[in-house]
Structure 1
């Protein structure tokens, strides 16, 4: 039997879990590396990925509500994909800024990006597969 959970509660729990896990990972990285350049690079990558996650969630909810209220699905897909590509362009500009201008470590920026999406997959699998939650 599947337990039902509201999508807003699921997303809030997901974001909170990602935030806590990221803080723990940053703290452990600081204890091991003791170099602020690497830690700032990690924080920049986590920040970029988290902002992308939040804006994707917000845009997706807005488009789905628009489709429910009469927006054609084709128009909704076009709007969502155009915002996706604008977000991708902004992410590229931010990565360029952090790597070329601020001179942060690109490996740790990518590690921060990977960390957030890895956490997202693990937490979603844990909740949906092992706990058998159904999002309503």
Structure 2
């Protein structure tokens, strides 16, 4: 995340808010999303990512493959642009509840996800 300017990151936060708001309005608050399944799928995914926090590189093929699965799950709600996906990564780190949720799997998971998601956005979504 350090390679992005603060102006770009602010734009990513705005993109996340705008895209999610637009999607929520268009889908009656994501009423057709099976949230229980989404949360089970994210749980299974985070259990695979957590052991990698201290040993794998954010941009490794293994990590990026798992982040692709993360993005696919996120797309069940709406398809985030690269900027919105980076905004989501920032939200994981900056929102105390989200950081605590992710870090309960493994200390540092929120920051690890943020860096890995930003690489995925930069290399795959743009």
Q: TM-score under structure 2 normalisation? A: 0.30
Which structure exhibits the higher relative contact order, with contacts defined as CA atoms closer than 8 Å and separated by 6 or more residues?
1
Higher percent of residues as strand: 1
Quick check: which has more Rg, 1 or 2?
A: 1
TM-score (normalised: structure 1):
0.28
